[in-house]
Amino acid sequence: METFLKVVSDIEAAQAAGKKVSPELIAAGAVALARMRRAERKRNREAPERPEPPSPLPYEAAQRELHELRYSVGLTRKEAEELEGGTGASNVGRVEDKIGEVRTQEEELEKVKELKEKLRVLRTTMEAKRRRLHAVEGSMSGWVKTGCKLVAVEKQHKGVWEKKGQSQN
Protein backbone atom coordinates (compact mmCIF):
# COMPACT_ATOMS: atom_id res chain seq x y z
CA MET A 1 0.00 0.00 0.00
CA GLU A 2 2.87 2.33 0.76
CA THR A 3 4.23 1.70 -2.73
CA PHE A 4 0.87 2.48 -4.30
CA LEU A 5 0.52 5.70 -2.29
CA LYS A 6 4.05 6.74 -3.28
CA VAL A 7 3.27 6.12 -6.98
CA VAL A 8 0.00 8.06 -6.70
CA SER A 9 1.78 11.00 -5.04
CA ASP A 10 4.45 10.94 -7.80
CA ILE A 11 1.71 11.01 -10.48
CA GLU A 12 -0.07 13.92 -8.75
CA ALA A 13 3.24 15.81 -8.41
CA ALA A 14 3.99 15.34 -12.13
CA GLN A 15 0.49 16.55 -13.08
CA ALA A 16 0.78 19.54 -10.74
CA ALA A 17 4.11 20.49 -12.29
CA GLY A 18 2.49 20.27 -15.73
CA LYS A 19 4.72 17.47 -16.85
CA LYS A 20 3.53 14.47 -18.82
CA VAL A 21 3.15 11.30 -16.67
CA SER A 22 5.50 8.61 -17.92
CA PRO A 23 4.03 5.22 -18.94
CA GLU A 24 6.48 3.49 -16.57
CA LEU A 25 5.02 5.43 -13.63
CA ILE A 26 1.46 4.47 -14.67
CA ALA A 27 2.52 0.80 -15.02
CA ALA A 28 4.19 0.93 -11.58
CA GLY A 29 0.94 2.34 -10.13
CA ALA A 30 -1.12 -0.44 -11.75
CA VAL A 31 1.26 -3.11 -10.44
CA ALA A 32 1.20 -1.59 -6.95
CA LEU A 33 -2.63 -1.41 -7.05
CA ALA A 34 -2.87 -5.09 -8.11
CA ARG A 35 -0.49 -6.14 -5.32
CA MET A 36 -2.50 -4.13 -2.80
CA ARG A 37 -5.79 -5.76 -3.87
CA ARG A 38 -4.25 -9.26 -3.72
CA ALA A 39 -2.92 -8.60 -0.23
CA GLU A 40 -6.35 -7.34 0.87
CA ARG A 41 -8.10 -10.45 -0.50
CA LYS A 42 -5.55 -12.64 1.28
CA ARG A 43 -6.16 -10.81 4.56
CA ASN A 44 -9.91 -11.27 4.13
CA ARG A 45 -9.52 -15.00 3.53
CA GLU A 46 -7.25 -15.45 6.53
CA ALA A 47 -9.26 -13.17 8.77
CA PRO A 48 -11.00 -14.81 11.70
CA GLU A 49 -14.73 -15.36 11.58
CA ARG A 50 -16.71 -12.21 11.59
CA PRO A 51 -18.29 -11.40 14.91
CA GLU A 52 -21.86 -12.48 15.44
CA PRO A 53 -24.49 -9.93 14.57
CA PRO A 54 -25.61 -7.80 17.47
CA SER A 55 -28.18 -9.41 19.71
CA PRO A 56 -31.81 -8.61 18.94
CA LEU A 57 -33.68 -6.03 20.86
CA PRO A 58 -34.67 -7.03 24.40
CA TYR A 59 -38.33 -7.09 23.33
CA GLU A 60 -37.61 -9.57 20.53
CA ALA A 61 -35.54 -11.74 22.86
CA ALA A 62 -38.39 -11.74 25.38
CA GLN A 63 -40.88 -12.65 22.64
CA ARG A 64 -38.68 -15.53 21.48
CA GLU A 65 -38.28 -16.78 25.07
CA LEU A 66 -42.04 -16.59 25.61
CA HIS A 67 -42.65 -18.51 22.39
CA GLU A 68 -40.17 -21.24 23.43
CA LEU A 69 -41.79 -21.44 26.86
CA ARG A 70 -45.26 -21.77 25.32
CA TYR A 71 -44.01 -24.51 23.05
CA SER A 72 -42.36 -26.42 25.89
CA VAL A 73 -45.49 -26.14 28.06
CA GLY A 74 -47.72 -27.25 25.21
CA LEU A 75 -50.08 -24.33 24.86
CA THR A 76 -52.52 -24.47 22.01
CA ARG A 77 -52.57 -21.72 19.43
CA LYS A 78 -55.77 -20.28 20.87
CA GLU A 79 -54.33 -20.23 24.40
CA ALA A 80 -51.19 -18.55 23.10
CA GLU A 81 -53.28 -15.87 21.37
CA GLU A 82 -55.20 -15.28 24.61
CA LEU A 83 -51.93 -14.88 26.47
CA GLU A 84 -50.60 -12.39 23.94
CA GLY A 85 -53.62 -10.19 24.55
CA GLY A 86 -52.80 -9.47 28.21
CA THR A 87 -50.09 -7.44 29.90
CA GLY A 88 -46.61 -8.87 30.40
CA ALA A 89 -47.15 -9.53 34.11
CA SER A 90 -50.48 -11.26 33.56
CA ASN A 91 -48.97 -13.34 30.75
CA VAL A 92 -46.21 -14.53 33.05
CA GLY A 93 -48.81 -15.45 35.67
CA ARG A 94 -50.90 -17.33 33.14
CA VAL A 95 -47.90 -19.20 31.79
CA GLU A 96 -46.84 -20.12 35.33
CA ASP A 97 -50.39 -21.36 35.99
CA LYS A 98 -50.23 -23.46 32.84
CA ILE A 99 -46.87 -24.89 33.92
CA GLY A 100 -48.40 -25.75 37.30
CA GLU A 101 -51.32 -27.49 35.58
CA VAL A 102 -48.95 -29.53 33.42
CA ARG A 103 -46.92 -30.58 36.46
CA THR A 104 -50.11 -31.59 38.28
CA GLN A 105 -51.19 -33.62 35.25
CA GLU A 106 -47.79 -35.33 35.16
CA GLU A 107 -48.09 -36.24 38.86
CA GLU A 108 -51.60 -37.62 38.30
CA LEU A 109 -50.33 -39.61 35.34
CA GLU A 110 -47.64 -41.17 37.53
CA LYS A 111 -50.28 -42.11 40.13
CA VAL A 112 -52.45 -43.69 37.42
CA LYS A 113 -49.47 -45.71 36.17
CA GLU A 114 -48.78 -46.97 39.70
CA LEU A 115 -52.44 -47.93 40.19
CA LYS A 116 -52.50 -49.75 36.84
CA GLU A 117 -49.44 -51.75 37.90
CA LYS A 118 -51.10 -52.69 41.23
CA LEU A 119 -54.27 -53.68 39.36
CA ARG A 120 -52.25 -55.87 36.99
CA VAL A 121 -50.59 -57.64 39.95
CA LEU A 122 -53.98 -58.18 41.64
CA ARG A 123 -55.50 -59.58 38.44
CA THR A 124 -52.60 -61.99 38.04
CA THR A 125 -52.92 -63.12 41.66
CA MET A 126 -56.70 -63.56 41.40
CA GLU A 127 -56.34 -65.53 38.16
CA ALA A 128 -53.84 -67.89 39.82
CA LYS A 129 -56.14 -68.39 42.82
CA ARG A 130 -59.12 -69.04 40.52
CA ARG A 131 -57.16 -71.69 38.61
CA ARG A 132 -56.14 -73.42 41.85
CA LEU A 133 -59.74 -73.41 43.05
CA HIS A 134 -60.98 -74.96 39.79
CA ALA A 135 -58.29 -77.63 40.02
CA VAL A 136 -59.35 -78.48 43.56
CA GLU A 137 -63.03 -78.61 42.61
CA GLY A 138 -62.23 -80.84 39.64
CA SER A 139 -60.30 -83.33 41.73
CA MET A 140 -63.02 -83.41 44.41
CA SER A 141 -65.77 -84.32 41.96
CA GLY A 142 -65.00 -88.07 42.17
CA TRP A 143 -65.08 -88.19 45.97
CA VAL A 144 -68.03 -88.96 48.13
CA LYS A 145 -68.11 -87.16 51.40
CA THR A 146 -68.39 -89.73 54.20
CA GLY A 147 -68.92 -87.52 57.17
CA CYS A 148 -65.26 -86.76 57.67
CA LYS A 149 -64.02 -83.36 56.65
CA LEU A 150 -62.00 -83.45 53.40
CA VAL A 151 -58.81 -81.41 53.45
CA ALA A 152 -57.05 -80.43 50.20
CA VAL A 153 -53.31 -81.01 50.08
CA GLU A 154 -51.30 -80.06 47.01
CA LYS A 155 -48.31 -82.26 46.27
CA GLN A 156 -46.07 -82.38 43.18
CA HIS A 157 -48.70 -82.53 40.41
CA LYS A 158 -50.87 -84.98 42.37
CA GLY A 159 -54.15 -84.03 43.87
CA VAL A 160 -54.08 -86.05 47.09
CA TRP A 161 -56.98 -85.86 49.49
CA GLU A 162 -56.62 -86.87 53.05
CA LYS A 163 -59.36 -87.92 55.38
CA LYS A 164 -58.46 -87.14 58.91
CA GLY A 165 -55.69 -89.55 59.73
CA GLN A 166 -55.55 -91.64 56.52
CA SER A 167 -54.62 -90.84 52.93
CA GLN A 168 -56.04 -92.28 49.75
CA ASN A 169 -54.68 -92.16 46.20
The model's pLDDT over 43-83, given as tens digits with 9 standing for 90+, comes to: 877 766 666 666 666 667 777 777 777 677 777 667 766 66
Q: Is residue 13 part of a domain?
A: yes
Q: Is residue 15 part of a domain?
A: yes
Do 143 and 150 touch, CB atoms closer than 8 A? yes
- Indicate if the pLDDT at residue 14 is higher than 70: yes
pTM for this model (two decimals): 0.29
Backbone angles phi, psi at 106, to 5 degrees: -65, -40
pLDDT value, residue 83: 62
Q: Is residue 152 part of a domain?
A: no
Q: Is residue 21 part of a domain?
A: yes
pLDDT tens figures, 84-115: 665 555 666 777 778 888 888 889 999 999 99
Q: What does 11-40 look like in DSSP terms, one character per residue?
A: HHHHHHTTPPPPHHHHHHHHHHHHHHHHHH
Span 3-9, average pLDDT: 75
Closest CA to 88 of 55, 63, 68: 63
Q: Is residue 16 part of a domain?
A: yes
What's the structural domain count of the chain?
A: 1
Average pLDDT taken over every residue of the chain: 72
Please report which confidence band the pLDDT of residue 120 belongs to, taking 50, 70 and 90 as the band edges: very high
- Indicate if the pLDDT at residue 163 is higher than 60: no
Q: Is residue 8 part of a domain?
A: yes
Tell me what percent of the residues of the chain surpass a pLDDT of 70.
61
Which amino acid type is present at position 45? R
Domain that includes residue 16, residue range: 2-46
Q: Is residue 53 part of a domain?
A: no
pLDDT value, residue 154: 44
Q: Is residue 23 part of a domain?
A: yes
